[in-house]
Amino acid sequence: MSLTYLEAIREAQARALKEDPRVFIYGQDVAAFGGAFKATKNLALEFPGRVVDAPISEDAIVGLAVGAAIEGMRPIIEIQFADFSTTGFNQIVNHAATTFWRTSVPLPITIRLPSGGTSGSGPFHSQTLEGLYATYPGLIVLTPATVEDAYSMLLEAVAIDDPVIFCEHKLLYYHLKADSLPTEALPVGKARIARAGRDMSIVTYSAMLHEALAVADELAAEGTEIEVVDLRSVKPLDTDTIMASVARTGRLLCVGESWPWGGVTAEVLARVASEGLDLLDAPPQRLNAKDTPVPYHPNLWAAHRPTARSIATAARRVLRT
Amino acid sequence: MLLARVLDERMANLYRGGKIHGGVFMGRGQEALSAAVGTCLRPGDVFAPLIRDTAGRLAFGEPVLDAVRTYLGSPLGPMRGRDGNVHRGRPREGMLAMISHLGAMIAAVNGMLFARRLKGITGTVGVACVGDGATSTGAFHEALNQAAIEHLPLVAVIANNQYAYSTPNARQFACRDLEDKALGYGITGHTVDGTDLNACLDVIGDAIRRARDGQGPQLVVARLLRLCGHGEHDDAGYVDPKLRASNVGRDCLKVAERFLLDQGWATPQTVAQWWETTSHQVDEAIATAQREGGPDPYKESWCAISSKHLCEGYDEVCDTHLG
């Protein structure tokens, strides 16, 4: 059998619903319609009353999850597009994220954010907000890049007793495939060496992993061995694995699809610079999207985000210095 | 009501004496409505108070010590110095700990009621209290609409105290009456004179009964006046003197006391005795909390999540590096 990243997300939710009566799914169009991307297809039929359509009210959607979690439930919230989570932002960062610290009541809430650019989606259906949510204490932020991680990390997210922002990448939904569901997985909080190499490290996550792997292939043909680190989880950030990789290679390029100001790539560089400057043979670099809203037209969109081509250019620059 | 009045005033005194950090927010003038809410709720129900609900909290069962410890930042209080003043609660016991964006609490009450339905628990209700100001927030609208769609046993109580901080009703909403909003959500609306304890008990009691009986969300609008500033830093000089002189500006505590005396249910001597006993009770709690001191930053866990193994502690790594 073969299944896609999107099907893995559906299967993980089906399993969570099956194994734990405290789990329910709440979001716009998730019930009979099966979700805007079909990530909850048929789940309302299989689990009557536990996959519930919400009005277009992100604040109230997340707020309901907060209350349900206080009562011991484990809600999975589907926000239709990550971009729309900003209208539920207050409930996420000020309510869900602060409750455990303030009251000692843990809130096991999984908030699924279909994230990232796809051609033609434009400024309001393309955003990647992991850096924004990672800024706030009280949240765990996951960015699965593979079918296996989409499945195992979503299951783990539901089992975690804290609010988890689950950034699933829309570009990976349909074309990323695996032969089977994983039976074991790295735990949340551990990064993965997606490809070993000795000449430089590319640290990345989510859809950019696949661009980075393509660059590693391309440069391997030229005799350069690039190590690719898949962060998997941006909060917590596995600093140890990053530092160990940089210690091996002496060169670092960090790639993210988010905007350039601050964010995950800046955090990685700051940590490496402050703790491992002596490990570096060249200044660490980072590559992000351009500092504009995500454009609509494919010509602009492809130039806005990092691509295998722009990553390769940046990697060659790091290798030359 | 009396205990709430005394407790609030003692907190204000401590604030003026520099013993309380941040602010103190009193319920003066709103105790009748608040006490009615706390009295009509049962153990096992859900209560999301607003910042002037000392009376309702006490009636619902919050110990005086919880309030005092939170104001004084005692590590033994429910918030352990991590949050203060009115931002206190025991969520698992049905008392939510508000965030400052008060409208957000209504959807959380919805969530608790929704979860209970999923778990097959019936017969409980939730009350969310907000002021006239919160009715202008998107969160209020979203949550009332959500409660209506799900037909939840929610009672939303609006204490219309005429001002949101300094903003008068005329700059807050343009509808004829806040109760009209109920029609738009397809829920039942009620209006009550918030200065009259008996009326509040009747109307709040009726709304809670209807919600408990499965008649869906209820909206109660109470007309009253805040007889103090927004916080103790505020002299409320913006309040229209005509409002103060009108029926809405009556002191609900005096109205209730008058009623008891007129009915012959209490004498001036018994009332004086109640004040004394109550003052003693509050003073004891203050003495206890003051002995407990404040939280120790070196014993604080500084971890905002319950999954300790996923806590980065990277700030501590930085501290160590800096020696």
**Exposure class string for A293-308: b at 16+ Cβ within 10 A, else e:** ebbbeeeebeebbbbb
Choose the final residue of a domain: A155, A178, A201.
A178
Alpha-carbon distance of A101 to B11, in angstroms, equals 25
Residue A73 counted as domain residue: yes
Confidence category of residue B320, pLDDT binned at 50, 70, 90: low
Mean pLDDT of A166-189: 95
Mean pLDDT of A218-244: 97
B159 touches chain A (CB under 8 A): no
Are B203 and B192 in contact by the 8 Å Cβ rule? The answer is yes
Confidence category of residue A1, pLDDT binned at 50, 70, 90: confident
Residues 45-84 of B with CB under 8 A from A: 78-79, 82-83
Domain match, A128 and A213 both: no
Comparing C-alpha atoms, which of A133, A128, A138 is closest to residue A205? A128
- Among B90, B111, B115, the residue with its CB nearest the CB of A63 is B111
Domain match, A82 and A170 both: yes
Q: Please report the pLDDT score of residue B312 as a whole number.
A: 85
Q: Say which CATH number the domain at A232 has.
A: 3.40.50.920
Nearest CA in chain B to A50: B118
A13: closest CA of chain B, how far (Å): 18
What is the end-to-end Cα distance of chain A in Å, rounded? 46
Residue A183 counted as domain residue: no
Token pair, residue A40, equals 């909850």
Token pair, residue B45, equals 């129900």
In three-state form (DSSP H/G/I as H, E/B as E, the rest C), the secondary structure along A66-122 is: HHHHHCCCEEEEECCCHHHHHHHHHHHHHHHHHHHHHHCCCCCCEEEEEECCCCCCC
Q: Please report the pLDDT score of residue B275 as a whole number.
A: 97
Does pLDDT of B321 surpass 70? no
Does pLDDT of B224 surpass 60? yes
Are A30 and A40 in contact by the 8 Å Cβ rule? The answer is yes
Does pLDDT of B131 surpass 60? yes
Nearest CA in chain B to A189: B310
How confident is the model over A18-75, as pLDDT tens digits?
999 999 999 999 999 999 999 999 999 999 999 999 999 999 999 999 999 999 999 9
Domain match, A103 and A216 both: no
How confident is the model over B296-318, as pLDDT tens digits?
999 998 999 999 999 987 766 65
DSSP β-ladder status, A164-169 and A110-115: parallel
Burial class from Cβ neighbours inside 10 Å (0-12, 13-18, 19+) for residue B40 reads: buried
**Positions of A marked catalytic:** 58, 125
Domain match, A158 and A225 both: no
Q: Please report the pLDDT score of residue A321 as a whole number.
A: 87
A211 touches chain B (CB under 8 A): no
**Residues of A whose CB is below 8 A from B82:** 101-102
Nearest CA in chain B to A103: B79
Domain match, A173 and A298 both: no
How confident is the model over A268-316, as pLDDT tens digits?
999 999 999 999 999 999 999 999 999 999 999 999 999 999 999 999 9
Choose the final residue of a domain: A150, A178, A206.
A178
Confidence category of residue A250, pLDDT binned at 50, 70, 90: very high
Does pLDDT of B24 surpass 50? yes
Q: Is the dihedral of CA B141, B147, B151, B157 positive or negative?
A: negative
Token pair, residue A30, equals 């998730």
Range of the domain at A297: 192-320
Alpha-carbon distance of B52 to A29, in angstroms, equals 39
Q: Please report the pLDDT score of residue A58 as a whole number.
A: 98
Q: Please report the pLDDT score of residue B259 as a whole number.
A: 98
Alpha-carbon distance of A22 to A31, in angstroms, equals 17
Domain match, A56 and A132 both: yes
Contact (CB<8Å) A63/B104: yes
Q: Mean pLDDT over all residues of chain B?
A: 96
Does pLDDT of B282 surpass 60? yes
Token pair, residue A155, equals 């299951």
Q: Measure CA B292 to chain center.
A: 25
A101 touches chain B (CB under 8 A): yes
Q: Please report the pLDDT score of residue B229 as a whole number.
A: 94
DSSP β-ladder status, B167-168 and B163-164: antiparallel
Go through the domains of chain B in sequence order and give each one's CATH number: 2-321 (3.40.50.970)
Domain match, A160 and A288 both: no
Confidence category of residue B266, pLDDT binned at 50, 70, 90: very high
Give the number of residues written for chain B.
323
Alpha-carbon distance of B213 to B73, in angstroms, equals 40
Q: Say which CATH number the domain at A104 has.
A: 3.40.50.970
Contact (CB<8Å) B145/A101: no
Confidence category of residue B322, pLDDT binned at 50, 70, 90: low
Q: Please report the pLDDT score of residue B323 as a whole number.
A: 47
B113 touches chain A (CB under 8 A): yes
Domain match, A143 and A201 both: no
Q: CA neighbours within 13 Å on the CB side: how many for A42?
A: 5
Does pLDDT of B129 surpass 90? yes
A214 touches chain B (CB under 8 A): no
Domain match, A170 and A63 both: yes
Domain match, A220 and A170 both: no
Domain match, A119 and A12 both: yes
Contact (CB<8Å) A60/B115: no
Domain match, A199 and A152 both: no
How confident is the model over A94-148, as pLDDT tens digits?
999 999 999 999 999 999 999 998 889 999 999 999 999 999 999 999 999 999 9
B85 touches chain A (CB under 8 A): no
Residue A285 counted as domain residue: yes
Tell me the percentage of chain B whose pLDDT exceeds 70. 97
Domain count, chain A: 2
Residue A186 counted as domain residue: no
Q: Measure CA B246 to chain center.
A: 25
Token pair, residue B178, equals 């806040």
Mean pLDDT of B136-160: 98
The alpha-carbon radius of gyration of chain B (Å, integer) is 21
Choose the final residue of a domain: A143, A178, A213.
A178
H/E stretch holding B297 reads: none
Alpha-carbon distance of A212 to B219, in angstroms, equals 56
DSSP class of residue A27?
E
Residue A62 counted as domain residue: yes
Residue A187 counted as domain residue: no
